[in-house]
Structure 1
Amino acid sequence: MSKDKNIKVARLIGLEKKAREASSKDELYFVIVNETRQIIDYVNSFLLIKTPTDKFKIKATSDLATIDRTSPLLTFIENFINNDKTIDTKEIQNLDVEKISKNIKAEKPKNLPQNILFIPIISPQKGMQGYLLLGRQKQFSDSDTELLRHLSMSYGHAFNSFLKDISINNYFKKYFTGKKSWKIYLSIFIILFLPLRLTSTAPVEVVAKKPKLVTAPFDGVVKEIVVNNNDKVKFGDLLILLEDIELNNNYNLAKQSLQVTQKELLRSRQSSFSNNEEKARLAELVAQVELKKAEVASAEEKLKNTKLFAKQKGIAIVDQKNDWQGRPVKVGEKIMTVANPDEVEFLIWLPVKDSLVIKENSKVKVFLDVNPISSLKGKLLRASYAPSLSPEEVLSYKIGASFDGKKPPRIGFRGTAKVYGSRVPLFYFVLRKPITFMRQYIGI
């Protein structure tokens, strides 16, 4: 054996050693595209690796650290490897670049050498891994081809270090066949029918349990809101003043009209002893006096009602206090609320798309925005029969829930409520949303 052959064999052994000792895929790719030059001379090389979609992409090229996907050369190579069906993908062969260009109807890049050697890299255990393409102007000899056939087997074996057995077929054969497979099937069956409670989340607000509404006693105009929002009030405290100028004038006019009628009645009584016509008017004048007294009493009552007082102790709840000043109100219209801060409940707006079958006394958990880590417990008290628009303009069911705890949260706090429904099998718990979506999508 000549000295040159001994050197080439030593280089071949050293190259195989480098390939098997590569610590990562990138290192192995570098060895394949660059170190192969120690055995066979070439201008450039391209390593294409198989993807999960059975396509081949260039992962490394000689003398370049990064891959430029926009390069016409790389695009041409990936194109003909993935689309030219005339190539025997399992054999080392010299490729006719001109013929390939015609097959894929693409122009040959100018920087692509005339002679391309196509080398499949096959793992003995995992099959086809990719291709190595070597390019040079001089044609590859038969001895070069045989040498690279041996080297490709070594590269294929080196790939085994980075391949994992993720075959679904092998996975099923391992766990779902054999004498003990019935245990797996039984476990799956039990898990799928494991009963779990359906849950839904929805916006929630802390509201007063038995609020006392302060409403307008008659059609009028708000003069002033005396108290501020969240002020503590006690029984008899002044809350609201309504405009009383017109009512006060009406009251004074009613009193004057009463006095005139009373004097006329007195004059008629004095004249009735000698005048029969005056005696006949007495009954009419007495009725007019009673009517005027009723009008005075009514005007006085309305005048008193221009001042609205608290009828229970608690806190005042009023929205936009300054906006109420000068606002006209209708009889019965709510102006503010007086609520006991120690008696609260939860108002939940459950969206229709997340609705579930719930029963009275179903469990509810509330996570307030001010303290999202800890939860407050409650029970469902009532739910609306028909949905309505929530403050966020979402079609929702209105649900009331109790607060089961010692220290009630402040009225007005908001957060998220978790509502618990009936128990269902695990498979329905997991697939409920996809089933609903598919039903709506396909229209059944």
Structure 2
Amino acid sequence: MMDTSTAEEAGQKAAQEAPPQPRIDAHQLALLWQLSARARQAASESTLGFTIVNETLALVPYRQAAWWRGDAPGHVAAVSGLPQSDPNAPYVQWLNALCKALANGLRNAPPKHAAAHVEGQGAAVLPARPQVRTFTAADLQADAPHVAAEWSAWWPAHGAWLPLTDRAGHPAGGVVFARDEAWTATDASLLTELGQVWAHAFQAFAPRASWRERLRAVLKPGRTQRRVLISVAVACVIPLRLTVLAPAEVTPKDPFIVRSPLDGVIDHLYVQPNQPVQRGTPLFGLDATTLQSRYAVARKDFDTAQEELRQTAQLAVTDDHTRLDMAERQGKLEQSRVELDYTARQLARVNVSATRAGVAVFSDPNEWTGKAVAVGEKILVLADPAHVEVTAWLPVADNIDVKPGTRLTLYPKSSPLSSYDATIDSVAWRAEPTPEGVLAYRVRATLAADDTHAPLGAMGTARIRGPWVPAIYYVLRRPLTLARQWLGW
């Protein structure tokens, strides 16, 4: 094993043989920080490119600079000293050819190092991350002789190529510089740090991948594709409870319906909607004018028939012929008595009273006052507030296999934090139009024992639970229904 003195000597020897590290003073660090801040504050890609090719001169001296975008087929997007580059200009076309040659040379270089011509040094081994690559016209003779031939017409002697890469390490263009003096290690170090900042800033303006590209990347054959397909297959067979929503209302259960006892016109309602009433409380009254007239006529006919029978009985004592008329007078009297009794009973039924206690359920009293009604027509309902049920209207389009005994939950609109559970008792076999004009099935459900305090007349939305189905059926149920309606299969 090497002793301590031998290790120290080896370390000193390696330090002496290593190339000198670049020295950066405080002023250069301040400029580097300022240019980095300017890159982060750029409002657009063009503004960032203009800042790169023009304002970097304060940190690293150069005569020419250009920013080359790496998108296919690649083009020069910014040139120093010009507000906007003309792609048809000869100088810009030569820069395009130069940057393409440099980018291809970078791609073909070994992945772990790149050559750099630095003053006072030969080819140096650089880190794996993109570094500044210095070059001259002689370096382009082999790969781009036509570019090297025109070098002296456009550029000074020394050039520097700073490649830019995205977060994944893919080439995203680069920045090229030129000047008369050779590039130093300090210049290369400063430009390398700026290149990292610029590449990150350009990434913010890069176009986002579309959903098709993302989907194509996910479905690319490989481990990710297999995982996605297995996850989708498992998700498709996960059992879910099939549920539908339907408008619902708390309605009275087994209510007493109050009907009109006679044909007539409602004269007055003695109760108000939702008013509690007791047995014998007057509910409404019909107009008695016609019946009172008929009763007066019947009373007059009865008195007349009674007087005629009395006179005939007196004459029958002495006149045998008059005695024969007594039977006819007696029948007429009985007929008038029946008419009088019938009219009296009808007149007594003009005022309707409650036959049981409950709450009067009906619409606006003004809609009934003066309205002509027929015998047996429904006027109002007497309901027991403690004996209610839930009535839901299940639209035909959302119909599922609902059977008696299925659970139902009512979410009233007037109380968003409350809910009431119920059990379905019956489902109508035939759909009927609702007041809103929607064809739906009537569903009746009994509230749970602890939910009997649900307010009568509360309206809301009922969630009706159906059978357990696979997730794929739950998702595709409606699209398949619409497809069958359109395609007829």
Matches within 5 A, 1:79-158: 91=100, 123=166, 125=168, 127=170, 129=172, 158=200
**Alignment partner of 2:471 out of 423, 426, 431:** 426
TM-score, with structure 1 as normaliser: 0.68
Opposite residue 91 of structure 1, the aligned amino acid is K
Q: Deviation string for 1:309-331 (max 9, x for gaps)? A: 10110111121112322221121
Find out whether 1:318 has 2:362 as its counterpart.
Answer: yes
CA distance in 2 between partners of 1:437 and 1:238 (Å): 55
Instruction: Single out whichever of 243-252 and 28-37 deviates more from structure 2.
Output: 28-37
CA distance in 1 between partners of 2:163 and 2:402 (Å): 63
Aligned length: 375
Find out whether 1:231 has 2:280 as its counterpart.
Answer: no
CA distance in 2 between partners of 1:18 and 1:280 (Å): 138
CA distance in 2 between partners of 1:325 and 1:244 (Å): 14
Cα displacement (A) at 1:24: 8.8
Indicate conservation of the 8 Å contact 2:279/2:355, yes or no. Answer: yes
Opposite residue 458 of structure 2, the aligned amino acid is F
Find out whether 1:415 has 2:460 as its counterpart.
Answer: yes
Indicate conservation of the 8 Å contact 1:29/1:47, yes or no. Answer: no
Q: What is residue 328 of structure 1 aligned with on the other side?
A: 372
Q: 1:326 to 1:225 in 2, by over 3 A?
A: same
Cα displacement (A) at 1:120: 10
Q: What is residue 362 of structure 1 aligned with on the other side?
A: 406
Find out whether 1:36 has 2:53 as its counterpart.
Answer: yes
Opposite residue 330 of structure 1, the aligned amino acid is A
Find out whether 1:272 has 2:316 as its counterpart.
Answer: yes
Matches within 5 A, 1:245-324: 245-324=289-368
Q: Deviation string for 1:375-433 (max 9, x for gaps)? A: 10001122223323222232322222211133422222111111112221111112222
Cα displacement (A) at 1:271: 2.8
CA distance in 1 between partners of 2:363 and 2:248 (Å): 19
CA distance in 2 between partners of 1:355 and 1:225 (Å): 41
Q: 1:129 to 1:19 in 2, by over 3 A?
A: farther
Q: Deviation string for 1:105-133 (max 9, x for gaps)? A: xxxxxxxxxx9xxx99664946465799x
Find out whether 1:374 has 2:391 as its counterpart.
Answer: no
TM-score, with structure 2 as normaliser: 0.62
Instruction: Single out whichever of 331-340 and 272-281 deviates more from structure 2.
Output: 272-281
Unaligned 5+ residue runs, structure 2? Answer: 1-22, 88-95, 103-153, 155-161, 181-186
Cα displacement (A) at 1:223: 0.9
Q: What is residue 174 of structure 1 aligned with on the other side?
A: 223
Cα displacement (A) at 1:306: 0.6
Cα displacement (A) at 1:20: 12
Q: What is residue 137 of structure 1 aligned with on the other side?
A: none
Percent of aligned positions that are identical: 24
Indicate the RMSD between aligned Cα atoms, in angstroms: 5.0
CA distance in 1 between partners of 2:302 and 2:355 (Å): 33
CA distance in 2 between partners of 1:130 and 1:218 (Å): 96
Q: 1:361 to 1:46 in 2, by over 3 A?
A: farther
Unaligned 5+ residue runs, structure 1? Answer: 1-5, 64-72, 79-86, 94-114, 135-139
Q: Deviation string for 1:240-265 (max 9, x for gaps)? A: 11111221121121112112112222
Indicate conservation of the 8 Å contact 1:123/1:159, yes or no. Answer: no
Q: What is residue 103 of structure 1 aligned with on the other side?
A: none
Cα displacement (A) at 1:294: 1.4
Q: Deviation string for 1:168-197 (max 9, x for gaps)? A: 5654533344xxx6xx76665444223222
CA distance in 1 between partners of 2:389 and 2:469 (Å): 28
